Structure 1
Amino acid sequence: MKREIGLLGGVAFISGTMIGSGIFMSPQFVLAYIGSPGASLLIWAFCGVVAMFAAMSYAELGSIIPESGGEFIYILRIYGSFPAFLAAITFVVIVKPFGVAAVAISIAKYATAPFYTGCDPPQLIVKCVAAGVILTVAVVNILNVRLAVKIQVVFLFIKVLTLTLIVIGGIVALTRSQRVIVQNLSPDHAFKGTQYSFSTTGMAFYQGLWSYAGWYNLNYIIEELKRPQVNLPRAVIIAISLVTGLYLLVNVSYLTVMTPKELISSSAVAVTWGNKVLGSWGWIMSIAAALSAFGSLNGTFFSGGRVCFVAAREGHMPDILSMAHVHRLTPSPALIFTTVVSLLVLIPGDFQSIVNFFSFTAWIFYAITFSGLLYLKIKKPELPRPYRVPIILPILVLIAAVFLVLAPIIDDPQIEYLYVTLFIFSGVLIYIPFIHYKLCPNLLTKLTIFLQLFLEVAPAEKNL
């Protein structure tokens, strides 16, 4: 596959994936979990700091191990095959499909909201629209890499314009009346009702960090990034600084016109804000939010297919998933597989539960990856690294990751967390016969040959 992504494309893949469904849907969940407007703003700010430190740490890892694949390839090179396989199967089957499904649901809710004023759209309609959106993004990514990159850049501008509109609208509303924001953010009310338990704080962070999901995106596609040693850290700093500033201003704008009760009860915060500020033109926010989330879905899907592709290339997934189309140069089998799993996840899931279990599962492997960076910094400082960060950054992010994994379990244990953990470790049943001993049923070989001919794909080499 070719290096098609420059600095602007890199910024678009990070910030364009981060700015999506989260800032339009997560504010009410963050506020509901943490309990007060002031504390919710602190959560949003701290999530931005965590995302920045985490992305900068990943940038150093990317300079040491300049291969696509994100957590999978880093764990493979540092800790070996077995933990890398657990990471691969978890990201391919749970994390990435859950992320795709959650964003698709948010797009569907915003796209159908104008047709169901005063009530929530039927779940069947939402799921059908979400499935259509996933299939549309899949077709785009399978057909052309350049088209997917252009879509990401164009939709980034739409996202920034949308959030800027919300910020300006909040300023205009503030000039008309300061009653609501004074009630929300005055010293007497800003932190009133704050819930300080480990579980509620952890869940609030899950929802907030979901809105920053995408800080790691370029590490999945380093082999398709031009001048990665330079463009990776630059794109990270530009993108996350932009997103954090916009998120804080947008949340203040929400609190300028909505009380905490109104914000929590809203099924689509941006639509409620639009109805209050824009009046009869409030429907514009539904369209803008849906388009914004579409760009995020494109970035999530793009990177998700690469994890599957790289894992298969390293022998941790079926060979067919490591192949690329002979003409279009896209990893079409891996993208098709990601599409199928995402559609299956979509059937039983709802937005809030998908985000919570996505975050819990993902941060387990983020923590392992940060510990790997610490190992390399301490034990192998001689490795060439064009970009490096102070050791305190991965230490702080590792502490945050451990907190995010343990806090909900300690304070409010749920059986679903046990199911996720059992699923991760059940990978040993597949790893021992098929990866360690390399058993390959004859039927799988015949199926691989058939699919290779049918899909017009061939093995792809690394682009280092």
Structure 2
Amino acid sequence: MEEENVRKNRETSNGSIDPSVISLPGDKVKPAVLKRQIGLISGISLIVGTMIGSGIFISPKAVLEGTGAVGPCLCVWAACGILATLVLISIVNCMSVKLASYVQNIFTVAKLFIILVIVVAGIVLLAQGNTKNLSNSFEGGTTSFGAIGLAFYNGLWAYDGWNQLNFITEELIDPYRNLPLAIIIGIPLVSVCYVLVNIAYFTVLTATELLQSPAVAVTFGDKVLHPVSWIVPLFVVFSTFGAANGNCFTGGRLTNVAGREGHMIKILSYISVKYYTPAPAIIFNGILAIVYIIPADINTLINYFSFAQWVFYGLTALVLIVFRFTRKEMKRPVKIPIAIAVLVVVVSCYLVLAPIIDKPEVEYLYCTLFILSGLPLYFLFVFHKFHWTRRIMRPITLHLQLLMEVVPPEKIE
């Protein structure tokens, strides 16, 4: 029966397979579109769960290295909160939107639990008078232009994920209400948690001990939670898994829409006829994630990821400013004050340039070249669409469709 369906396949005008061919015999063919299944609670969980990953349990060391003292360190964590206002996961997200949402909700609860444990332990220790590390907290602080920038890189790494909900507005129930509400609730919640967690760390660890710690949360647990200190690394794993799941969920939607709008190859815009998920985009992002972790050095990954991320944050905000004057007639369902866009551009310029000016490294050039390496592929396979590139992509697209059982998205009026 499958061979008969393959023989009967009908190619559409863009070289893809008709949805009715891939569907199972006797099945009612449903429109291949993403459905609105994400509510307010899941939206908040997505923001909180994506932001809280491994960062808060690892980054404090690098933030302290960049600031030099407890006081400036805590200021950076608070400022990062203001600025914010890997194969198993792909499979889960390819299989079901609801399953991915349930996974996100469960792991968000788990990571908030360990955050609560650390914060409560810190409050108890403060009540017992363990304030030595917090006294004279600005003494010995550094004012290096680039070092502060690197401190923000690591702090903002822990806060990254604040913008992820924007990528799934098509699947968010009542987005005009739930999108701003989830952001207003989620980001301040994470910001308060992060500052309190860092205060808890400093009730137990001196600045020197924190800098020498390979994983701050684990060292904290060994000192405070013995003999149940094993729960800290366990829940750090839960936290990291939940953040990766959230990024996989939202990143797949971003890539999917880019393919749909013609900014990437069309196969990335296709939808699974069985699960109604953007499976090709999720798999593509999963492969990229595997490439990114090859260096295996978390600090290097953070620095160069943050460098690339803030380049694009700045460019995005710059486009908003330019469009405000050049495309005044465009419909803007959500309009932000231009002053905020200007602030983001200024902050982005600082975060991108400060570390390079203070401590130039050839790795920043490699990162830039890696970003620019996508341009030849874009011009050859997306922008110009030469005859020979179409001949290459058409059979590849057809085989991938059959393999993954995906079809082009359909629009519903």
Q: TM-score, normalised by structure 2?
A: 0.87
Asked whether 1:270 is paired with 2:217, we answer yes
Q: For 1:310-364, what per-residue CA distance to the aligned partner results, in whole angstroms no more than 9, with x for missing partners?
A: 2222223222221111010011111112222222222223111001100000111
| 1:363-382 alignment runs, 5 A limit | 363-380=310-327
Unaligned ranges ≥5, structure 2:
1-33
Partner of residue 176 from structure 1, selected from 110, 128, 136: 128
Asked whether 1:447 is paired with 2:396, we answer yes
Structure number with the bigger relative contact order (C-alpha 8 A, sep ≥ 6) is: 1
User: 2:89 — aligned with what?
Assistant: 137
1:146–1:338 Cα change, 3 Å: same
Asked whether 1:205 is paired with 2:157, we answer no
Displacement after TM superposition at 1:422 (Å): 2.4
| 1:206-245 alignment runs, 5 A limit | 206-245=153-192
Partner of residue 73 from structure 2, selected from 31, 40, 55: 40
Number of paired residues?
378
1:330–1:347 Cα change, 3 Å: same
Identity within the alignment, %: 46
Asked whether 1:353 is paired with 2:300, we answer yes
User: 1:305 — aligned with what?
Assistant: 252
Q: Which moved more, 1:220-229 or 1:242-251?
A: 220-229
1:232–1:280 Cα change, 3 Å: same
Asked whether 1:146 is paired with 2:93, we answer no
Q: Contact (CA 8 Å) 1:224, 1:463: kept in 2 or not?
A: no
CA distance in 2, matches of 1:333, 1:431: 18
Q: TM-score, normalised by structure 1?
A: 0.78
CA distance in 2, matches of 1:310, 1:7: 22
Matched to 1:234, the amino acid is L
Q: For 1:195-248, what per-residue CA distance to the aligned partner results, in whole angstroms no more than 9, with x for missing partners?
A: 211211110000000011001101111111111112111111110010001111
Matched to 2:81, the amino acid is G
Q: For 1:279, what is the secondary structure of its paired residue?
A: coil
CA distance in 1, matches of 2:65, 2:412: 46
Q: Contact (CA 8 Å) 1:31, 1:264: kept in 2 or not?
A: yes
Partner of residue 235 from structure 2, selected from 269, 284, 288: 288
Q: Which moved more, 1:339-348 or 1:202-211?
A: 339-348
1:314–1:382 Cα change, 3 Å: closer
- The structure whose Rg is larger is 2
CA distance in 1, matches of 2:63, 2:55: 10
CA distance in 1, matches of 2:374, 2:279: 25
CA distance in 2, matches of 1:444, 1:433: 11
Q: For 2:295, what is the secondary structure of its paired residue?
A: coil
Cα RMSD, aligned residues only: 1.7
Displacement after TM superposition at 1:414 (Å): 0.9
Q: Which moved more, 1:298-307 or 1:41-50?
A: 298-307
Displacement after TM superposition at 1:441 (Å): 4.2
CA distance in 2, matches of 1:463, 1:300: 27
CA distance in 2, matches of 1:385, 1:456: 36
User: 2:111 — aligned with what?
Assistant: 159
User: 1:20 — aligned with what?
Assistant: 53
User: 2:346 — aligned with what?
Assistant: 399
User: 2:4 — aligned with what?
Assistant: none
Q: Contact (CA 8 Å) 1:34, 1:200: kept in 2 or not?
A: yes
Q: For 1:395-434, what per-residue CA distance to the aligned partner results, in whole angstroms no more than 9, with x for missing partners?
A: 2222111100111111111111112222333433223333
Q: Contact (CA 8 Å) 2:61, 2:213: kept in 1 or not?
A: yes
Partner of residue 30 from structure 1, selected from 58, 63, 78: 63
Q: Contact (CA 8 Å) 1:325, 1:456: kept in 2 or not?
A: yes
CA distance in 2, matches of 1:435, 1:335: 19
Asked whether 1:192 is paired with 2:139, we answer yes
Displacement after TM superposition at 1:380 (Å): 4.9
Unaligned ranges ≥5, structure 1:
53-133
1:391–1:436 Cα change, 3 Å: closer
User: 1:409 — aligned with what?
Assistant: 356
CA distance in 1, matches of 2:83, 2:223: 33
Q: For 2:271, what is the secondary structure of its paired residue?
A: strand
User: 2:25 — aligned with what?
Assistant: none
CA distance in 2, matches of 1:378, 1:290: 47
CA distance in 1, matches of 2:242, 2:373: 34
Displacement after TM superposition at 1:41 (Å): 0.3
Between Structure 1 and Structure 2, which shows a larger proportion of helix residues? 1
Q: Contact (CA 8 Å) 2:265, 2:381: kept in 1 or not?
A: no
| 1:44-123 alignment runs, 5 A limit | 44-52=77-85
CA distance in 2, matches of 1:426, 1:335: 21
